[in-house]
Structure 1
């Protein structure tokens, strides 16, 4: 799963979660704990704290987080007899409570706690609210109310929680959060149309959903998500290198799944599409080392399929072109490019090995 957040560029410096237990967030008065308000360029800043314990600076979630995966609880479950609570998928891997060490006799669902988690999600990051009078009536003058603690909007928050859960192998949790995020974006697409920002966000989310399905062994659903990811990312102008990379990776992942399924011609077709995307990006950004390495990786993938298809001449040509690209790439010795150098050497060793294998 990609570590980049597709919402990073649009997240405002914002405010606190307006969610209140058992209430309608749209009707809450925009006030702090002491009722004071301060003026800031025509907007109200509310120094309130989230009643559920969310802190946007440390990203702590208080009692709504799972100690094991560090993300929002999903299918909240209680250990018996110690009563400590975790995600069902997380605690199911243990025989003893990881918090207190007590033997786990059984695991019971905690629907009340999960309902609280869902209310938190539904109310989280509803950042802009109309200003209201003390009696609850709306003030006619248009001003934004910004809650002072939330640094991420709903989409970015859900992606963050999904990535935490995915890294902890709580795949169902990650898929659930990403699915909710995708639904939100689709609603915006219906009202705003296919803007570049929304298409790029949805394309990235769909790619992550594909990763979830792939991790769960559902190759067919993974391909569907990757293909839809490609569809939306292809609508975005190829100027953002991160989005170009995401597009090419989605194409390669479809190719990988087709390859493992034995559909070699289809796999080669997707690998070639990825190679074409990367060649074009490298042509426009010849000074970006990562683009050159990406092209070499795609050349190696196409060559590998060619060899399996008994097209040895085509395979050798592809491997040799990859070697030439990587050998001509000169990276600085500073820390910023040290990881790239390790990747370059790793790919170079692989493609050289493929050429030497045939020579032997």
Structure 2
């Protein structure tokens, strides 16, 4: 699952990168180590310079309107300040899902989390059994349902007023709710509480679908839904539900294909979704279908590499797709096409020159190159 929140670019208050703000993550923005990114965060699309200053000034200008009620959770939390508390599981560090109580100590955890233990992670007592805590789970569900639900439509003139001249305008915080749900899903997924992650992402997808009913051409919403559906595909794939995973990946691709190809992060997400479908078809023995999806991903990456030939990650992605198509060609008995594909991929990687600050990309380049050279040696 991607560690990038698809809602970050649309957040209020300057667009804080949840990868950096989440205390449970590495705290490192993925753009900072890539020289080719120009110091721009791929999540927020902002840097630490004038753009941040401009956004802050813009936020201050908005706050001067006395009629404006700031977007906030009615419980006092937002996606970047939510901390562990009585509604969270200490094991996965996300909101409780299928809250369960240990016997006899009565400490509470997600069902999937506590089933991995024989002793209570909090007090060390032997776990004699577990029972569902429906009251606590109902409280968690009410919290999720109420979080960031303060939404009003400016266009419709929907508002509350003390008199006819003084209407109160509410900011739209639907993006904040989405960021919150995705953050909780990421935490749960990292801790292998996949059902919890899937539940939060499903809520998020339902929210976006509802928004799209009245705004079908909204590219931001299409981008967010495409990313969330891809994450749902990852959950189903991890759970071993290949048909559902393929369905989510295909739907993700449909939404991402509507978007401009200039956004490299979206291009990468689209190509990865297509490759994951190809992988699942490949493992199922349907090589022709696998090749079709690998080829579609290759086309996406070829176009991206043409427009962004100086971006090292795009070149490595292209070589990877060439390798996938060539591998299937070999398994289908088309050895000539396979050798051509492997050789083209090798040429791409050998031409690519990386500096010392791109150590992680260099390691990836060498790994793919080593695989390709071994494939040619086996011909």
So what's the TM-score if we normalise by structure 2?
0.80
1:161-310 equivalences under 5 Å are 161-310=184-333
Q: Which residue of 2 aligns with 1:67?
A: 90
Change beyond 3 A, Cα 1:94–1:54: farther
Change beyond 3 A, Cα 1:196–1:48: closer
Change beyond 3 A, Cα 1:238–1:311: same
Deviations 1:146-183 (A, max 9, x none): 79xx9970001101111111111111101100100010
Change beyond 3 A, Cα 1:160–1:48: closer
Q: Does the Cα contact within 8 Å between 1:13 and 1:152 map onto a contact in 2?
A: no
Q: Does the Cα contact within 8 Å between 1:252 and 1:270 map onto a contact in 2?
A: yes
Q: Does the Cα contact within 8 Å between 2:74 and 2:148 map onto a contact in 1?
A: no
Change beyond 3 A, Cα 1:151–1:183: closer
- Compute the RMSD of aligned alpha carbons: 2.4
Q: Which residue of 2 aligns with 1:342?
A: 363
Aligned: 1:3 with 2:28: no
Q: Does the Cα contact within 8 Å between 1:131 and 1:138 map onto a contact in 2?
A: no
Q: Does the Cα contact within 8 Å between 1:84 and 1:97 map onto a contact in 2?
A: yes
Change beyond 3 A, Cα 1:46–1:265: closer
Q: Which residue of 2 aligns with 1:316?
A: 339
Separation in structure 2 between the aligned mates of residue 138 and residue 248 of structure 1, nearest angstrom: 54
Q: Which residue of 2 aligns with 1:30?
A: none
Aligned: 1:142 with 2:167: yes
Separation in structure 1 between the aligned mates of residue 194 and residue 312 of structure 2, nearest angstrom: 33
Could you tell me which runs of 5 or more consecutive residues in structure 1 were left unpaired when the two chains were aligned.
15-38
SS at match of 2:199: helix
Change beyond 3 A, Cα 1:232–1:249: same
Could you tell me which runs of 5 or more consecutive residues in structure 2 were left unpaired when the two chains were aligned.
15-61, 153-157
Deviation of 1:127 after TM superposition, in Å, equals 4.7
Q: Does the Cα contact within 8 Å between 1:56 and 1:152 map onto a contact in 2?
A: no
Deviation of 1:343 after TM superposition, in Å, equals 0.8
Q: Which residue of 2 aligns with 1:80?
A: 103
Deviations 1:256-302 (A, max 9, x none): 00000100011001000000000001111111111000000000000
Q: Which residue of 2 aligns with 1:12?
A: 12
SS at match of 2:253: helix
Number of equivalences: 326
Deviation of 1:40 after TM superposition, in Å, equals 3.6
Q: Does the Cα contact within 8 Å between 1:203 and 1:228 map onto a contact in 2?
A: yes
Q: Which residue of 1 aligns with 2:113?
A: 90
Q: Does the Cα contact within 8 Å between 1:55 and 1:61 map onto a contact in 2?
A: no
Deviation of 1:54 after TM superposition, in Å, equals 4.3
Deviation of 1:46 after TM superposition, in Å, equals 7.3
Q: Which has the larger radius of gyration?
A: 1
Change beyond 3 A, Cα 1:151–1:47: closer
Deviation of 1:238 after TM superposition, in Å, equals 1.1
Deviation of 1:97 after TM superposition, in Å, equals 0.2
